[in-house]
Amino acid sequence: GFRSIAFASVVGVILPLCCIGTLPVALTLRRKGASLGAVLAFLVATPATSVSALIVCWKLLGFTFTVFIFFAVILIGLVMGIIGNGMKLSPGDGAAPSQPRGCCEDSLNDDPACQHSFFFARIKGVLKYAFITMPKEIGAQILLGIAVASLVVASTPIQYFIQTYLTGAVGYVFILIFGLIDYTCSTASVPLADALIKSGMSHGQGLTYLILGPITSYPAILVVKKQFGWKVGWMYIAVISGMSLLAGILYDIFVV
């Protein structure tokens, strides 16, 4: 329901996880029974900002800017979650696998041998999930995403084009493209946004980048597509792009 989406959004804003670290946590929540809306809200709010990013943002861009982006990220998470809960997934997309129950889960068994066996079975299950199951699920997508992002960052012509033409009347179009193809974590993106603003960008364009850049990494998009299908993947990109663009425009109109 709505409460789970709101909880995922608020907690996500606080947690100091980058996009890559958010992915296994979100997928584990899904397998434990969280709704699609709550998982998508978590995937939006968690990489977008964190306590450390908000502190840096406050120092460089001011209190008003920090408060605005804090609530903007929560609102985007809520919208994403509500839309996600209203979507119908194809059979098998993001479904939780059945898990066998141990003897100590089915009854209040005080047998020390059973408890000892249950403990080591749990440890074995944790290690297998962390180092075998999860890498099989999303490892290839993460590596591919990092490779593409590295190629973009290392390309001098692309970087020069973005940095040269990221101002003016079409600034929002460029910042939308730049945010989609670039990836930095929420804290590291704040100094870059501050530098772009001081170079001539508006505060709203900087805010759009701060929301869009950390969320729409290639690994996140590839994992969302693999786990939930292209329908959810395109919705994920469209909602984040539209809402972050709207947040930036509203900031320029009503705050600056």
**pLDDT tens track of the chain, all 256 residues?**
889 999 999 999 988 787 778 888 888 888 888 999 999 999 999 999 888 889 889 998 999 999 999 999 999 999 999 999 998 776 556 554 444 444 454 544 556 666 667 777 888 877 777 778 767 765 665 566 556 556 655 677 766 776 677 666 678 888 888 888 777 778 878 888 888 788 778 899 999 989 998 898 888 888 888 888 889 999 999 999 999 999 999 999 998 7
Q: Which residue is associated with the tokens 């079409």?
A: 170
- First and final CA of the chain: distance in angstroms? 36
170 alpha-carbon distance from chain centroid: 26
Q: Provide the whole-model pTM.
A: 0.76
